[in-house]
Amino acid sequence: MTLEERLTKLEAENRRLKRGAAVALIVVVAVLCMAQARTAPQPAEASQFTLRDGQGRERLRMEVTQNGNPAINIFDQEGRLRSSLGMYGISFYDDSGRMRTTLMNDLLYMSDERAHEIAHIYGDMHGAELLLFSGLGSGSTVLRADPSGSQLRLTGSGQQKLLRAGE
């Protein structure tokens, strides 16, 4: 092979390498452009989201209620509502669906399995109050503290005893 033939062959190989490098560069630039053009994920929006367990049972529901307030409800394996979190508080329910405990901004309320009120604690800037009930409606104890002083009131069997601080 002569020097001229070797030079022609080398120039042809050089052109092929340049073309290959140009194609590779174009592919890399195209991939980078496509990656930048991909849009960010859009937020999922709905008026209700439901989470289900492996058997398809509803276990949690996030929703906007009919009055326009958000709520989160938690269900047990049998589909019974066990807890509810809303704008104004959180409630807990027993196996029969009765609300047993509610905690709000300024109130804690508890009831027994027959839905009789057994206790509540209430407080605001004017004072605080603890009420304990027998659950049968036959007696109660009220402890109240406010700017005018503290008092303890006991009721039962148609009678009432009131004790004030300092008496």
Which has more pLDDT, 95 or 7?
Answer: 95
Nearest one of 132, 157, 150, 127 to 142, comparing CA atoms: 132
Using CA atoms of 153, 156, 160, 162 in order, give the dihedral in degrees to the nearest 10.
-20
Sign of torsion over alpha carbons 82, 80, 72, 131? negative
Which H or E element spans position 120? Answer: strand 117-124
State the pLDDT at residue 58. 95
End-to-end CA distance of the chain: 126
State the pLDDT at residue 20. 83
State the pLDDT at residue 54. 92
In angstroms, the CA 18 to CA 30 distance is 18
CATH number of 48-164: 3.90.930.1
Q: Which of 56-60, 89-93, 95-99 has the lowest mean pLDDT?
A: 95-99
Domain spans of the chain? Answer: 1-38, 48-164
pTM score above 0.85: no
Burial class (CB in 10 A: 0-12, 13-18, 19+), 119: middle
| pLDDT tens for each residue of 94-153 | 998 899 999 998 899 998 888 888 898 998 888 899 989 876 666 788 888 888 888 888
Whether 63 and 71 have beta carbons less than 8 Å apart is answered as yes
Mean pLDDT throughout 14-33? 83
